[in-house]
Amino acid sequence: MLLVNTIRDHFETVLEGLQKRNFPHAEAALHQVLELDKNRKETQVERDRLQAESNSTSKEIGALLREGKKEEAEKIKSRTTEIKEQIKLLEDTYSNYEEDLKQLLYTLPNVPHYSVPSGKSADDNEIVFEHGEIPELFEGKLPHWELIKKYDIIDFDLGVKIAGAGFPVYKGRGARLQRALINFFLDEAIKAGFIEIQPPILVNEDSGYGTGQLPDKEGQMYEATADKLYLIPTGEVPITNLYRDVILNEVELPIMNVGHTPCFRREAGSWGAHVRGLNRLHQFDKVEIVQVVHPDKSYEVLEEMSQYVQGLLQKLELPYRVLRLCGGDMGFTSALTYDMEVYSAGQDRWLEVSSVSNFETYQANRLKLRFRGEDKKPQLAHTLNGSALALPRIVAAILENNQIEDGINMPKVLIPYLGFDMI
């Protein structure tokens, strides 16, 4: 979440950033933050003053009792009782101000990086790079939801029977393609220096608040209500929360983690061809990369992570483009996000397959994730994460782009993992 000091010291910059996001009533919300903080501090000052008076009065009472002046001591004791009652009221008031301030800060999104373009929707995102040739397929090409039926590799009807819409069953070579992609993505990340993590796929409320899924995305997560746990919407949540309430040493940075998890999202989106088949699911697999870095290095690392994900797409021989998201389309917690989209030739459209984001101190402030430099003074780290990669739309693009009249060729880089070169 945003730091109160940042809002106070850079009010106009923060306001412009929230307006770039089209955040409603931004100026009023920021003024409310400063007012609550002012009230909180004034309450703390008065509480500390009374505490000092209480300490002084206690010493005075002790001195009087030692001198045998019991009657005078008793008179002062009544003032001590009064002070303690006032302190208790001030402590309650302080706690209320602090809680109100925290809840208000939870509602404010991150301030976009200066390079984030203005805009209200995905139509305003900026294309910064394109790679590869759009495949020219034979007449009669099929979208992946027809291909999976033709070759019996993914079954949505069985998924509906078992769980409901948006929960596909992968079969035979479809299941092996899933496993091959997961192993390929993990192996590539490990070669790049990431440490593999296998985290829980259920998280508690503190973890949801730590990375910003709560309270912003509460309705999008599946909840195990009896235990107040949530099924993760992304591996970012448990992996980043490994470092909640941690003070690192600067020499430990950067921390580079990778993990494969299933992901669960209640909101599967609207109806229509753009969300058919694998385009949007309630459950899907994803390999996630997470970094904790020094603030001076985070934008350099963001570019490196973008290049890394692009390298995966190149090895899979998929045409792709890179978008810099506009203020109105970027995630709540992000300061700058690059989306990678692959071209899916069976549908003749671009599909988002990865987001790579720098959160600056936004998550670290919620997580209390800090590091000590040479001066030994703790400061907030920067956190980043990226999909490397999400499987469903990658599978859709591989199936569609590589289809021929009597089968589907597999990318060369996957053949050692698959044990076959065609479906």
Calculate mean pLDDT across residues 292-305. Answer: 98
Calculate mean pLDDT across residues 141-159. Answer: 98
* Span 85-116, pLDDT tens digits: 999 999 999 999 999 999 999 999 999 999 99
* Span 168-194, pLDDT tens digits: 999 999 999 999 999 999 999 999 999
The pLDDT of residue 271 is: 54
Asked if pLDDT for residue 269 goes beyond 60, the answer is no
Distances (CA, A) of 180 to 25, 174, 282: 48, 10, 21
The architecture in CATH of the region 4-106 reads: Orthogonal Bundle (1.10)
Terminal C-alpha separation, the chain: 48
- Domains in the chain: boundaries: 4-106, 122-418
Is 353 annotated for ligand binding? Answer: yes
Which residues in 173-218 belong to E strands, given as ranges?
195-196, 202-204
The pLDDT of residue 270 is: 52
pTM of model > 0.85:
yes
CA distance linking residue 146 with residue 152, whole number of Å: 10
Calculate mean pLDDT across residues 295-301. Answer: 98
Residues comprising the chain, all counted: 423
| Percentage of residues of the chain with pLDDT beyond 90 | 88
Is 352 annotated for ligand binding? Answer: yes
* Span 20-60, pLDDT tens digits: 999 999 999 999 999 999 999 999 999 999 999 888 888 88
Asked if pLDDT for residue 217 goes beyond 60, the answer is yes
- In sequence order, which residues have a C-beta less than 8 Å from that of residue 39 and are 6 or more positions away? 97
The pLDDT of residue 58 is: 84
Is 234 annotated for ligand binding? Answer: yes
Which residues in 270-412 belong to E strands, given as ranges?
283-293, 320-324, 336-344, 349-358, 370-372, 378-380, 382-390, 403-404, 407-408
122-418 to CATH, choices 2.40.160.40, 1.10.10.10, 3.30.1780.10, 3.30.930.10: 3.30.930.10
The pLDDT of residue 195 is: 98
**DSSP 3-state of 206:** helix
What burial class does residue 25 get, using C-beta atoms within 10 Å of its C-beta: 0-12 exposed, 13-18 middle, 19+ buried?
Answer: exposed
Is 385 annotated for ligand binding? Answer: yes
Is 57 annotated for ligand binding? Answer: no
Is 8 annotated for ligand binding? Answer: no
Asked if pLDDT for residue 216 goes beyond 90, the answer is no
| Percentage of residues of the chain with pLDDT beyond 70 | 98
* Span 349-395, pLDDT tens digits: 999 999 999 999 999 999 999 999 888 899 999 999 999 999 999 99
Asked if pLDDT for residue 340 goes beyond 90, the answer is yes
Is 21 annotated for ligand binding? Answer: no
Is 395 annotated for ligand binding? Answer: no
